[in-house]
Amino acid sequence: MIRSLCLLLALLTDTTNPPPVPPAIPTAAEAPMPIRDLREVAPGILEYHGVRLDKKNHRISFPATVNQHEGLIEYLLVNDKGKTYESLFETKLAPHTIHLAMLLIGLKQDAEANAKATAPPPTLNPTYLQSEPKMNGPAVQLSVAWTQEGKRKEVPVEDWILNLETNHPMTNGPWTYNGSMIQDGVFLADQEFSIVSVVTDPTALVNNPRKGYDNNGIWQIRDDVVPPLDTPVEISITLTETSSPTPTKP
């Protein structure tokens, strides 16, 4: 299921236009090989196709924009060719670029952690969401930074999402980096353009582990705190653990 880094690098020629046949993803052991277009931009900080890597702090950062200002969402972040009508943020980066950056800062995954996951239907529905198991993977923290009145601000992404069941913002805490899934040799994150999902989607790189991960009718954008549409932001993903937990047997 997992192929060599060489195949991935051969296809990483344009991160703003994901390849029509997405590449296979390398193992963590293969990822530390020398990477084309990886350059140092500050002491201890590398950049790869618009993604900044802070390996010491296990953190990557990259540009995005505010894509929606109000309403229900199923995704926190998608590529701009993805389901933007259901996402708070969009980015021009291809999912495989973000995934490779995560491998380079120390991500390690269990290839069998989500063996029971199945690809979702074109439109997520309650039947699918409630039948799929919760995703497994290393814990990550997500934050969003932006400039307001000339000052840089940064908050956990959960602060911008309302849980309609509790009428409180989404609980602060970790997200699950499941790393998408590969089907018939295709890295599905690049096919579906999904990066961070607030409801179960195995094709996204990151999933929400909180209660309500199986309910697409309770997550709403907090229009009282989210800046205007098209506001440039910086999304950061920080590894809080570098390996996948062992899935619990049924």
The verdict on residue 227 lying in a domain is yes
Provide DSSP, the chain: ----HHHHHHHTT-TTS--SSPPP---TTTTTS--TTEEEEETTEEEETTEEEETTTTEEEEEEEE--SSSB-SEEEEETTS-GGGEEEEESS-HHHHHHHHHHTT----TTTTTT--PPPSS--HHHHHHSPPP---EEEEEEEEEETTEEEEEEGGGGEEETTTTEEPPPS-EEE----EETTEEHHHHHTEEEESS--TTSSEE--STTTT-TTSEEE-TTTSPPTT-EEEEEEEES-SSPPPPPP-
Is 11's pLDDT higher than 80? no
Cα(6)–Cα(63) distance, integer angstroms: 26
CB distance 141 to 174 below 8 Å = yes
Q: Which of 26-30, 63-67, 112-116, 163-167 comes out lowest in average pLDDT? A: 26-30
Average pLDDT across the chain, whole number:
86
Is 22's pLDDT higher than 70? no
Amino acid present at 191: Q
- 39-47 average pLDDT score: 92
Other CB atoms within 10 Å distance of the CB of residue 112: 12
The verdict on residue 245 lying in a domain is no
The verdict on residue 79 lying in a domain is yes
The verdict on residue 246 lying in a domain is no
Is 151's pLDDT higher than 90? yes
Residue 247: the pLDDT is: 58
- 18-39 average pLDDT score: 51
The verdict on residue 248 lying in a domain is no
pLDDT digits (tens, 9 = 90+) for 80-122: 999 999 999 999 999 999 999 999 999 998 888 898 889 888 8
Q: Which two tokens stand for residue 202?
A: 């195995």
pLDDT digits (tens, 9 = 90+) for 212-246: 999 999 999 999 999 999 999 999 999 997 666 65
* Higher pLDDT among residues 24 and 204, named by residue: 204
Residue 7: the pLDDT is: 36
What band does 165 get if pLDDT is binned at 50, 70 and 90? very high
The verdict on residue 116 lying in a domain is no
Length of the chain: 250
Amino acid present at 6: C
Q: Give the pTM.
A: 0.84
Which residue range forms the structural domain that includes residue 195?
5-110+125-239
The verdict on residue 247 lying in a domain is no
| Residue labelled with tokens 């307001």 | 148
* Higher pLDDT among residues 18 and 80, named by residue: 80
Residue 183 φ then ψ, to 5°: -130, 125
The verdict on residue 117 lying in a domain is no
Residue 244: the pLDDT is: 67
Residue 249: the pLDDT is: 46
Q: Which residues on neighbouring strands pair with residue 63, listed in sequence order?
A: 234
Residue 115: the pLDDT is: 87
What band does 19 get if pLDDT is binned at 50, 70 and 90? very low
What band does 17 get if pLDDT is binned at 50, 70 and 90? very low
State the total domains in the chain. Answer: 1
Residue 143: the pLDDT is: 98
Residue 6: the pLDDT is: 34
* Higher pLDDT among residues 48 and 5, named by residue: 48
Instruction: List, as own/partner pairs, every contact residues 38-44 make where C-beta atoms lie below 8 angstroms and the sequence separation is at least 24, other chains included.
Output: 38/104
